[in-house]
Amino acid sequence: MDSLTFLILVGFVWLVLTAISRISWFNVKNPEIGLGFAYYRTTKLNNLISRIAKIKEPFWKFLWDIGILSGLGILFAGLIIFSINILTFFLPKSSEVTPIAITPVIPGVTISFGTLPYFIVAILIGAAVHEFAHGIAAINEKISLKSTGIFVFLLLFGAFVEPNEEDLKASSNRSKMRVMAAGGLANMLVSIFLIIILIIPFGFPMLISPFYQTNSSGVLVIETVPSSPASIAGIKAGYAFTSIEIANNTHNLASSFEFSNIITQNLNINQVITFHFADQIESVSLKTINRSDLNPNDPKSNTGFIGILTSNYFKPHFQTNFPVFNLIPYWILMTITYTFMINLMLALMNLLPVPFLDGDKLLSAFLGEKRTTLHKRIKYFALIILLLNFILSFYFMGWQQL
């Protein structure tokens, strides 16, 4: 299914849901359904948030004070970074500095179908952490909660906490800043924790150690390109190979990196390559092609094309005849990676002083009522900077898929 067909189908589903919600006999106000969005509100989590907020309350207040400092720092650093990024679009192509593409989140367009499940899980975790932090900070500042809930916007899921607006308005500026900065700080702490897991040598292996070996012992097939030699030969996602044979030379493999190096150096067009698999799967031989033979729009290459996406293979401790179990460590790794990226993005983007974002409310409380003119100027400057980044990214680089 192509992206346009997918988006049309999503739009049709939302039209049907919206039409049903308007029928008198349906008469359901929670969830609230509109064109492209839905909200579900509940008060059942309010007590849980209150109990957590009352545990070590001085610690929470100290943490939210750190959030104020880090939030303001991220706010102004974001303005500088986004401003500099605009300038990089106009530097000569020979320049070593390259612009960062800033694109909207559109499933099927900027988020590929293959990575959409990881993205959805990551945004759910990031939104839950963000909103729980807001709720805890609000309770710490004696601001009551009206409700908590989840929402869906098109295909994107999220969570929210509704503080009592009258309590929030009556609170001090410091209390408001604590509440507004809490979500971004929580996302930043989660992203720091996850990047540590990804960076330290024993981090990720420790997570999978109860069920899988901690050292890579081969190459895992993640995906095969349709109509490619690998696909035609019957190689499927979840297959793991421990060696390949090229021109009567056998190469034992312990990682995807080794496989990539070998095929880059030794694989020619029309080259016969034999894969030797784990899990008692029979060996497979295939002949490579030129990538342009599969897609005329691709440039011709001197390296033979197989048509597989690979990762490291971590052998299960248990015997199984289902290749899908081999993919679980890769799924966990991708989920951690996307959760790290989404939490970092939420921390950075949500603290920009743009209307409706936490950064705008944080800046308003920081500047106070006497500096409303300065607040408005910074707010609209930030909005223009953000829009220019979106426009220039699309104009010069197109919408890149994650």
Domain shared by 302 and 166, yes or no: no
pLDDT digits (tens, 9 = 90+) for 3-52: 667 777 877 887 887 887 777 666 667 777 877 778 788 888 888 899 99
Domain that holds residue 279: 216-313
Domain contains 327: no
Domain shared by 305 and 360, yes or no: no
3-state helix, strand, coil in the chain (%, to 5): 50, 15, 30
Distance CA 177, CA 80 (A): 21
Query: Model's pTM, two decimal places?
Result: 0.85
Please say whether the beta carbons of 209 and 383 come within 8 A. no
pLDDT reported for residue 402: 66
Domain shared by 30 and 54, yes or no: no
Q: Which SS3 state, helix, strand or coil, does residue 36 take?
A: coil
Phi, psi of 10 (to 5 degrees): -60, -45
Overall domain count for the chain:
3
Q: What is the DSSP letter of 274?
A: E
Domain shared by 387 and 260, yes or no: no
Q: Which of 250, 283, 313 is the last residue of a domain?
A: 313
Domain contains 325: no
Q: At what angle do helices 116-140 and 328-350 cross, to 10 degrees?
A: 50
Domain shared by 196 and 341, yes or no: yes
Amino acid at 216: S
Low-confidence residues of the chain: pLDDT under 50? none
pLDDT reported for residue 65: 94
Domain shared by 145 and 225, yes or no: no
370: its two tokens: 């006497």
Domain shared by 289 and 356, yes or no: no
Domain shared by 29 and 86, yes or no: no
Please say whether the beta carbons of 95 and 89 come within 8 A. no
Domain contains 323: no
Q: What is the DSSP letter of 249?
A: E
Domain shared by 221 and 291, yes or no: yes
Domain shared by 54 and 191, yes or no: yes
Q: At what angle do helices 173-199 and 358-367 cross, to 10 degrees?
A: 140
Domain contains 84: yes
Bridge partners of 311, per DSSP, are 220
CATH code, domain with 283: 2.30.42.10
Domain contains 319: no
Distance CA 386, CA 201 (A): 37
Domain contains 365: yes
Question: Quick one: which H or E segment has residue 339?
Answer: helix 328-350
Bridge partners of 245, per DSSP, are 250, 274
Give how far Cα 46 sits from Cα of 38, 161, 162, 236, Å: 21, 9, 10, 47
207: its two tokens: 């997570």
202: its two tokens: 């024993």
Q: Which of 313, 344, 379 is the last residue of a domain?
A: 313
Domain contains 210: no
Nearest in space to 208 (alpha carbons), one of 335, 328, 334: 328
Give how far Cα 134 sits from Cα of 151, 174, 200, 212, 339, Å: 16, 14, 30, 37, 19
Domain shared by 339 and 196, yes or no: yes
Domain contains 330: no
pLDDT reported for residue 108: 66
Please say whether the beta carbons of 345 and 43 come within 8 A. no
Give 86's contacts (C-beta < 8 A, 6+ positions apart).
385, 388, 389, 392
Domain shared by 187 and 250, yes or no: no
pLDDT reported for residue 13: 80
145-153 sheet: strands from edge to edge: 32-34, 37-42, 145-153, 156-163
pLDDT reported for residue 398: 76
Q: Which of 313, 345, 379 is the last residue of a domain?
A: 313
